[in-house]
Amino acid sequence: MISKTMEKLLNEQINKELYSANLYLSMCSYFKDLELDGFANFYRIQSKEELFHASKQFDYMHDVGGKVTMMAVDAPETKFKSIIHVFQLTLEHEKTVTSSINNLVNQALSESDFATHNFLQWFIAEQVEEEASISNLLKKLEMIGDNSSAMYLLNAELGQRTYKEKSAGSNN
């Protein structure tokens, strides 16, 4: 059984994950409009991963006797200044999610809720991976600048990404 405080925080985190999924679908649409299908593919997969995170948290809440309370999900941003702007926003957003996960870990430790602490370790590793991936792509985009050939190659590379649901017990 988890505390009411942890239950509230996990419900808020589920909502944040659902918001993230919608935000990344909005970014996917932006890239579709630009005919950058590789970038759109990257963000569609990002959205699927966020839905998986919410689902994983949803299931955990039920496993530990918590009550899931679904909330309204805020509308995501829909207008973006540039490709680089999208990735800058993504990195900022992922850092916000990391902070939220860290807050959950701190709460779990303060309550000696070791089951939740253990559960959250997967998300800690996931956030390290997410921030590194987005940071890497942002650096590539900054190097590319206005080079359309390089942008074409990066778009093709991102188009090769496939969705692979990460197992509950692994970090990959």
Tens digit of each residue's pLDDT (9 = 90 or more) over 64-112:
999 999 999 999 999 999 999 999 999 999 999 999 999 999 999 999 9
In a domain, 139, yes or no: yes
Confidence band for 148, pLDDT divided at 50, 70 and 90: very high
Q: 92: annotated binding-site residue?
A: no
Tokens of 83: 């490709």
Q: What is the largest CA-CA distance in the chain?
A: 55
Enclosing domain of residue 123: 4-159
Determine the straight-line distance between the first and last CA of the chain, rounded to whole angstroms.
28
Instruction: Express each pLDDT in 130-147 by its tens digit.
Output: 999 999 999 999 999 999
Residue 164 included in any domain: no
169, part of any domain: no
Q: One-letter amino acid identity for 24? A: Y
Q: Is residue 167 part of a domain?
A: no
Is 127 labelled as part of a ligand binding site? yes
- Asked if residue 90 belongs to a domain, the reply is yes
Q: Determine if residue 126 is labeled as part of a ligand binding site.
A: no
Q: Is 172 part of a structural domain of the chain?
A: no
Residue 35 lies in a domain: yes
Q: How many domains does the chain have?
A: 1
User: Residue 38 belongs to a domain with what CATH number?
Assistant: 1.20.1260.10
